[in-house]
Amino acid sequence: MITWRGVLSRFLGDPVAIGAGVVLLVLVLMAVFAPLLAPQNPYDLMQIDIMDSEMPPAWRAGGDERFLLGTDTQGRGVLSTIMYGTGISLLIGAGAVVVQAVLGITLGLIAGYRGGWVDAFLMRLADIQMSLSTLMIAIIVLAIFSAGFDANTYADYAIFMLILIIGVAEWPKFARTVRSSVLGEKNKEYVDAARVIGLPPRRIMWGHILPNTLTPVLVISTIQVAEAIMTEAALSFLGLGMPVDRPSLGSLIRSGFEFIFSGSWWITFYPAMVLIALVLALNLLGDWMRDVLNPKLRRGED
């Protein structure tokens, strides 16, 4: 049995986990408190001056101390856009994982517990879904969406669309994980005991089996947040993600990409660094969690 106290003590004993945790915490706090911390509000057109565009970081020649990491082509401070952009990236990542988890856990639980043709149907559906790449589905749907609506509507709904598409496209990962745990749990005697009492299947599934399958769900959730953020960044980079006036980390990287060779490398470089740090921290935490929570890898304690 894994206790919270045990997990905490393992966490404090692992420098990599602490490092990843601190990076993640800093980035999350930075994103949440962006409106208070950021030197400028990049959404506020009143604060933006086109005259400030393409300024290098403050310590370089021609830099301005108002813009620590320089400015982009529209004169927005790169540091401020990163702070706001990280928030949008995290929001899409977390939102997409919530959609994945709700769909995946429900379908995985039903498939595993019911078995038979229900299981076969849902799992073949998952196979088909998995054989179409997430990026491909997203590109098609978003391309239709952006062609079908005018730019303003697109800008308003882009974030929901991204959450929905990435969420729906990746549900099979959760479903498969949950299903295989359910298959392991459903033949245990505590489930039989619940059936002897006559509990309806719904209550056995959600009340008894689900809580015992959540450990692997926690692990893949972390890694899936990282993946969703990457997917969103890739889509934005392709011009199908967040619009330039509400930029995520991906759209920030894109907006500066054309100017790398004209010397304004900072517009792309700093958002890219933050994206890498964020995804790396999430993946390291996910790996660490898998090692700690997987009983097969644990030794000598119980």
Partner 1 sequence: MTDTPIVETRGLEVRFPLPTHFLSREKPVLHALNTVDVAIRPGESFCVVGESGCGKTTLGRTIIGLQRPTAGEVYFRGKRIDTMDETERKPIRRDMQMVFQNPYASLNPRRNVFDTLVEPVRHLMPEMSASEARTRVEEVLDATGCDPSWQRRLPHEFSGGQRQRIAIARALVTNPAFIVADEPISALDVSIQAQILNLLSDLQAERGLTYLFITHDLSVVEHFGTRVAVMYLGRIMELAETATLFSRPSHPYTQLLLEAIPKLEGGSFDRPHPPGELPDPVNPPPGCPFAPRCPIAVARCRSERPELRKLKNGAEAACHLAE
Q: Which residues bind partner 1 (CB under 8 A)?
A: 1, 188-190, 192-200, 208, 211-212, 302
- Cβ proximity to partner 1, 62 vs 211, nearer residue: 211
Residue 203 C-beta: closest distance to partner 1, Å = 8
Residue 173 C-beta: closest distance to partner 1, Å = 23
- Pairwise CA distance, residues 56 & 232, whole Å: 27
- Cβ proximity to partner 1, 155 vs 194, nearer residue: 194
Three-class SS state of 71: strand
Read off φ and ψ for residue 192, nearest 5 degrees: -60, -40
**In this structure, what token pair is assigned to residue 50?**
């086109």
**In this structure, what token pair is assigned to residue 212?**
């015992």
The β-bridge partners of 77 are: 71
- Cβ proximity to partner 1, 35 vs 200, nearer residue: 200
- Cβ proximity to partner 1, 66 vs 203, nearer residue: 203
Residue 218 C-beta: closest distance to partner 1, Å = 13
Residue 224 C-beta: closest distance to partner 1, Å = 23
183: nearest Cα among 215, 203, 209, 206: 209
- Cβ proximity to partner 1, 51 vs 196, nearer residue: 196
Query: CA dist 108 to 49, 65, 102, 210, Å?
Result: 52, 53, 10, 10
**In this structure, what token pair is assigned to residue 287?**
């790996």
- Cβ proximity to partner 1, 199 vs 280, nearer residue: 199
- Pairwise CA distance, residues 241 & 1, whole Å: 43
Residue 298 C-beta: closest distance to partner 1, Å = 14
Residue 302 C-beta: closest distance to partner 1, Å = 8
Are 271 and 249 a contacting pair, CB within 8 Å? yes
- Pairwise CA distance, residues 190 & 196, whole Å: 10
Q: How far apart are the first and last CA of the chain?
A: 6
